[in-house]
Structure 1
Amino acid sequence: MFIEINRLNKQYLDKTGKPTEVLKEINLEIDKGEFVSILGPSGCGKSTLLSIVAGLTDSTSGEVLVDGNPIKKPGKDRGMVFQQAALFPWLNVRDNVTFPLKKEMSKKEARAQAAKYLHMVQLGNYQDHYPHELSGGMQQRVAIARALSMNPEILLMDEPFGALDEQTRSRLHHQLETIWMETKKTVLFVTHSISESIKLSDRIIVMGTRPGTILADIKVNLPRPRDAHKEEMVKIEEHIMSFLKKEIDKVISEELAYEHSS
């Protein structure tokens, strides 16, 4: 098994020093080359789980193994794409992509690597542009190219299309699927969108509200591209909603109770 998450728990201390459980007994195995989405209501710990796999956040207990090696810190084997592109505004597109490559290869090699992945995300003609000259979707494609340029074995994506309009998201879904099929990277993808997870994933991990636990592990056995299988996608969406409805109701009840008490 390529990625193993064993009995993972995460707690934070609130302002009073009281521990708050964010993740509870997470157990998950992911094969090399799989595209796995993590889906669940707000506050269920999806992004925290991804951050722990990235090595950016420590777990309270449990372990994450990649190819049998425990994860304690960020590494070259894992590339991260956040919801916001987080580009350097003073650098052009090419230099944003080559920035993390400076210590890894020569300037000529880094430029060639950047050009390769910028062409892959269909931004080969925008290498001299600056972030403010690009749309939100184009900026996110630069961020994906930057992550891919490090040639990580694992691509970690934290709601990368969450801030984009539906039309742009749809185009980027197609591009990401094409890139994944070309590179066969292992992808761990956090999303709030059920349809997005069905469209992109081999498996969907459905999480319950805080403390985050795994409610279901659903395989998506549909041919790609999936837009031609609308009826089957609707059935999978209804199946996922059967798990999520109670969790979403719980979140709403907790929020209403908090508002009433404050």
Structure 2
Amino acid sequence: MSGLNVRIDEKRFDDVSVVRDLAFSAQNGEFLALVGPSGAGKSTLLNMISGLDTDFVGSVCWDDQPLYAAGQSPAHLGMMFQEPRLMPWLSTLDNVSLVLSDPHAERQRAIALLQEVGLGDVLEAWPSQLSGGMQRRVSLARAFVVAPRLLLMDEPFVSLDMPTGNRLRDLLLALWQRDRPLVLFVTHDLREALALADRVLFLSPSPSRVMLDYTVPLERPRRLEGTDIARLQEELFRQHPDLLSGVLATQEAVAGGVKE
């Protein structure tokens, strides 16, 4: 099929198998969320897909061709991590322009994206002058400025308070619906996965594999704190209590650690 095809026969760290017999496919423009208990290898999986980690048995293909050459990330790949990872000596604009192949020629695209995420008045500000939520918006603009076909997101909104997180989720969906990259979004929060994704892939404890590929039945727009999401989460826990017990434990463990 066109799009992304992932098959990880095995990934090991020393003598420990952390991923085994994991496989899934996704079409261009889909939004997939990856959830699983702590230590399930979600971040490890993103590293293998991105090409940051090539030490595994298996394959990662895009449109039936290898996604990357050994040791190289593919073109038109965007990434967003748990922390903004901004360069403290660069301005807001320069942090976004940093990933462009020709920062001077494409400068206007970076400015337009920063304006779109509400940061047009802080283009020359240093990261230390920005709030945590504003830094995440810079990181979001940087992920989209390369016009990604594939966007990998590793718990990008973790530990944010609800209003800040909701604003960022709305911005993400607006950018995704406009540009339609294929998104792989790692989260510990099942409600967030159900609010954002077309499909949710539930990973088993390590060595991880896909235990459930679930298509979200709700129309957009959806609100993370809405009653529809709450009912759907309760239904999933009721139908798959053993599978999702680790997800619930991880979700509850991090629920108290919010920040701006």
Which of the five TM-score ranges fits, normalised by the shorter chain? 0.7 to 0.9
- Aligned pairs for 1:191-206 within 5 A: 191-206=187-202
Asked if structure 1 preserves the Cα contact closer than 8 Å seen for 2:91 and 2:123, the reply is yes
Determine the C-alpha separation between the residues in 2 that align with 1:250 and 1:234: 15
1:112 aligns with 2:77: no
CA–CA distance in structure 2, aligned partners of residues 11 and 106 of structure 1: 38
Q: Distance in 2 between matches of 1:171 and 1:76?
A: 28
CA contact (8 A) 2:8 2:19 kept: no
Alpha-carbon distance change, 251 to 9 in structure 1, aligned in 2, over 3 angstroms: farther
1:3: which partner in 2?
4
Alpha-carbon contact 2:34-2:42 (below 8 Å) kept: yes
Q: Which has the higher helix share?
A: 1
TM-score by length of 1: 0.86
Give the percent of matched residue pairs that are identical in Structure 1 and Structure 2. Answer: 34
Match of 1:100 in 2: 99
Counterparts of residues 206-221 of structure 1 (less than 5 Å): 206-221=202-217
Structure label with greater radius of gyration: 1
Residues 249, 98 of structure 1: CA spacing in aligned structure 2 closer, same or farther, 3 A cutoff?
closer
> What amino acid is the match of 2:65?
N
> 1:33 is aligned with what amino acid?
G
TM-score, normalising length from structure 2?
A: 0.87
Task: Give 1:86's aligned residue.
Answer: 85
Deviation at 1:248? 4.0
Query: Which structure 2 residue ranges, 5 or more long, are not aligned?
Result: 250-260
Q: In terms of mean alpha carbon deviation, does 154-163 or 237-246 score higher?
A: 237-246
SS in 2 for 1:79: strand
Contact 1:8 1:59 in 2 (8 A): no
Does 1:224 pair with 2:224? no
In the TM superposition, residue 247 of structure 1 has moved relative to its aligned partner by 5.8
Q: Who is 1:260 aligned against?
A: none
Pick the aligned partner of 2:22 from 19, 26, 30: 26
Question: In structure 2, what is the equivalent of residue 12 of structure 1?
Answer: 13
Aligned-partner Cα distance in 1 for 2:225–2:97: 39
Which structure 1 segments of 5+ residues have no match? 14-18, 253-262
Q: Which deviates more from structure 2 when the two are superposed, residues 121-130 or residues 238-247? A: 238-247
